[in-house]
Amino acid sequence: MASKKIFGIVLAGGEGKRLMPLTADRAKPAVPFGGGYRLIDFALSNLVNSGLRQIVVLTQYKSHSLDRHVSQTWRLSGLLGSYIASVPAQQRLGKRWFAGSADAILQSLNLLRDEKPDIVVVVGADHVYRMDFTQMIDAHIASGAGATVAAIRQPLSLADQFGVIQIDEQNPDRIAAFLEKPKDAVGLADSPDEILASMGNYVFDADVLIEAVRRDGERSDSNHDMGGDIIPDFVKRGEAGVYDLNRNHVPGSTDRDKFYWRDVGTIESFFDAHQDLVSALPVFNLYNREWPIFSQQLNSPPAKFVRDANNNVGTAIDSIVSLGCVVQGSHIERSVLGPWSMIESGAKIVNSVVFERAHIGAGATISMAILDKDVVVAPGATVGVDHDLDRTRGFTVTDSGITVVGKGVRVD
């Protein structure tokens, strides 16, 4: 990395309405993922692995569990000014909350004034991926752009789900147009069946970012959003660069997972991302020791698989089973169990995600479901088997057939 002072900002203030009921009592970046992680751990791990040591997390909605997780898990030594700190909305510019992600930065400019960085890396807090930001920062500096947007190649058929970047044919490192969920996107010149989608990660020259959010703050017609307002303004000025994730090499990555990135902002994408974890050759590999995903390691015993009174053996196939779990004479398949889950004799869990401290009674069946923290399923009860029954019990059932049970619910 060039000898510049780098500062990291993680945007973690979103409500996460599309992940309800998982966000009924917590911010989206605090939602558990992959057994022992929170969603924010992926962004913070990427920044720390990239060498950033001064990082703030801008929070707003239902931030208690998120703030607690950051303070307990992400404690740097403090030597040489190193820190990761949660910064809540402080109403520094009046009695109002953040009006958008750009306004969150505008209301937090005191952080940049204090640290006086040369470069600011701004990332979202709810994507699952690995990325070495060192390489993107070097590319940004070399390009001379005021802002650089990280982009990932996605199928042309999915263009209407993303912010799509069109590159300048004369200067392929510059953005010619930024289109929000276009219906008529054109494929890339070197790959007509693909488009470049914004990953929601940006690198800015610090002074340019400060000027941009101040200018945006004066506009009455702005939504004050980084992707919707700030980046398009840079594009109009010819000052927006693009960084294709295909250029990024993460140590320890495999051909299968090296360009993995998933926005887990909906129940369907959240569920699918878990299914990406559980195969023998996972689409996203949690076991890369050269670029680890860090999180809080609970003081817990190992998972245990035991026989029941009838000598039935507890088994798990293509699954992730977290610390503290006990699987007693039951069967787990293509599922993720959070810490301290108890699965009793004869229970069956298939294609599901179970958060921490769930208790699944004897003979219960869980299929295509997400169970939040502290859910209790009574012996013989079912979740995800009869969708009409699930709906009458007040559970969320998505159009794709995923049943979601909220925190602390008892299922009879």
pTM for the predicted model, two decimal places? 0.92
Residue 297: the pLDDT is 78
Is 181 annotated in a binding site? The answer is yes
Residue 94: the pLDDT is 65
Q: 315-317 and 163-167: which strand pairing?
A: unpaired
Question: CA-to-CA distance for 176 and 167, rounded, in angstroms?
Answer: 5
Residue 1: the pLDDT is 47
Is 218 annotated in a binding site? The answer is no
Q: Give the angle 58-59-64 at the CA atoms, nearest 5°.
A: 140
Q: 147-155 and 261-263: which strand pairing?
A: unpaired
Question: Do the beta carbons of residue 187 and residue 193 sit within 8 Å?
Answer: yes
Is 407 annotated in a binding site? The answer is no
Q: 32-33 and 37-38: which strand pairing?
A: antiparallel
Residue 28: the pLDDT is 93
Residue 93: the pLDDT is 65
Residue 217: the pLDDT is 84
The pLDDT profile of the chain, 412 residues, written as one tens digit per residue, is: 458 899 999 999 777 788 999 999 899 999 999 999 999 999 999 999 999 999 999 998 888 989 999 998 888 877 778 899 998 877 666 677 677 788 889 988 999 999 999 999 999 998 999 999 999 999 999 999 999 999 999 999 888 888 899 988 778 789 998 888 888 888 888 888 999 999 999 999 999 999 999 998 888 888 888 888 899 999 998 899 999 999 999 999 988 888 999 989 899 999 999 999 998 888 899 999 999 999 987 789 999 999 988 888 899 999 999 999 999 999 999 999 999 999 999 999 999 999 999 999 999 999 999 999 999 999 999 999 999 999 999 999 999 999 999 999 999 9
Domains of the chain: 6-275 (3.90.550.10), 304-411 (2.160.10.10)
Is 163 annotated in a binding site? The answer is yes
DSSP assignment of 196-235, as one string?
EEEEEEEEEEHHHHHHHHHHHHT-TT----IIIIIHHHHH
Burial (CB count within 10 angstroms: exposed 0-12, middle 13-18, buried 19+), residue 170:
exposed
Residue 103: the pLDDT is 87
Residue 220: the pLDDT is 80
